[in-house]
Amino acid sequence: MNRIAVAAMIAGLSLAPANFALAQTSKDLADLKREIEALKTGQLSIQKDLAEIKNLLLQKELQAMREQLQGRPSAQAQAPSAPAPETQTLVSIDGAITKGDKNAKLTLVEFTDFQCPFCARHLRDTMPQIENEYIKTGKVRYALRDFPLESIHPQAFKGHEAANCAAEQNKYWEMHEKLFANQRAMTPKDVTAYAEALGLDMAKFQSCFDGGKYTAKVRKDLTDAQKYGATGTPTFFIGLTDPKSSEIKAVRKIVGAQNYTAFKDAFDTLLGSK
């Protein structure tokens, strides 16, 4: 072996550790960048959850203040009087997705947001009992309307549009379940993948979704919710059913992910009334 070849071999061996070190350093930097991005994403999620909690606490505080003011006697009152009847609000269920007997004595209307963690908690912890005890037994009809809070849940609006498109193929509740199970993944690409996983006719779904067929409907639900005094999600209205009307006379309002007892007390009181 000549001297030039030997020198080249020595040079190659001496450079190999340096190249390996550079490669290792680049890999470490890439891993570090990924960890930083993951931390940023986690921080944004925490900020959104904190905003939800703050919103719910504000709603409860405002509700308590309203109840306190409503229960305060007039300064001119001379003697106790009979309690005033509950204020009735006409709440439309036109276009709502419903469950249960349309002739049930009561109707429960929920305004929900697919990216709202409190809505997911209600669905998981409270709704199964309501469904088993009141909806399946024919005592209560359930109507669900859209209320995506765009300021804190920017992807939710498209999720609600997708659910309405799925309803055209009798797959609303299946899409509803998918969206609540994937609250942080609701881009158009995500919901299209859910539609495919549910076995929907994708040509029909894409035509509906991409064409914005239900954009106006979701927007109307948002406007109606605000008109009825809803400021957060979930918000519920309970009232007497009128099978001949697309409106109910709501006499109870429940705000937030309340426990089952809050709904049971309201249902039983109204079911017991004449």
CA dist., res. 24 & res. 209, Å (int): 46
What are the residues facing 109 on neighbouring strands? Answer: 143, 237
Backbone angles phi, psi at 230, to 5 degrees: -80, 130
CA dist., res. 148 & res. 164, Å (int): 13
Count of CB atoms situated within 10 Å of the CB of 189: 8
pTM for the predicted model, two decimal places: 0.70
Count of CB atoms situated within 10 Å of the CB of 49: 12
pLDDT at 86: 55
Between 40 and 70, name the one with better pLDDT: 40
Spatial contact of 174 and 139, defined as CB atoms under 8 Å apart: no
| Cα–chain center distance at 127 | 14
User: What is the sign, positive or negative, of the torsion defined by CA atoms of 90, 136, 115, 166?
Assistant: negative
For residues 165-186, average pLDDT = 97
- Second-level CATH architecture of 89-272: 3-Layer(aba) Sandwich (3.40)
- Range among 35-44, 68-77, 131-140 rated most confident: 131-140
Question: 156-167 and 202-210 are packed helices; what angle lies between their axes, rounded to 10 degrees?
Answer: 130
pLDDT at 55: 63
Beta-carbon contacts of 260 under 8 Å, excluding residues fewer than 6 positions away, are 125, 126, 129, 130
Spatial contact of 189 and 199, defined as CB atoms under 8 Å apart: no
| Cα–chain center distance at 261 | 22
| Cα–chain center distance at 44 | 18
CA dist., res. 105 & res. 111, Å (int): 20
Count of CB atoms situated within 10 Å of the CB of 249: 16
* Nearest Cα residue to 108 out of 273, 272, 222, 264: 264
List the domain boundaries for the chain. Answer: 1-69, 89-272
> Model confidence over 65-111: pLDDT tens digits?
544 444 433 333 333 333 334 568 899 999 999 999 999 999 999 99
pLDDT at 128: 98
Average pLDDT of the chain is 83
Residue 100 is given by DSSP the state: S
* Nearest Cα residue to 210 out of 270, 158, 172: 158
What separation in angstroms does the CA of 248 have from each of 38, 201, 253?
47, 35, 13
For residues 198-205, average pLDDT = 98
Spatial contact of 159 and 176, defined as CB atoms under 8 Å apart: no
* Nearest Cα residue to 143 out of 220, 246, 223, 256: 246
Beta-carbon contacts of 133 under 8 Å, excluding residues fewer than 6 positions away, are 139, 264
Spatial contact of 100 and 135, defined as CB atoms under 8 Å apart: yes
> Model confidence over 41-64: pLDDT tens digits?
666 666 666 666 666 666 555 555
Q: Taking 90 as the threshold, does the pLDDT of residue 261 lie above it?
A: yes
| Cα–chain center distance at 266 | 23
Spatial contact of 260 and 130, defined as CB atoms under 8 Å apart: yes
pLDDT at 88: 80
> Any idea which of 35-39, 77-81, 111-115, 123-127 has the lowest mean pLDDT?
77-81
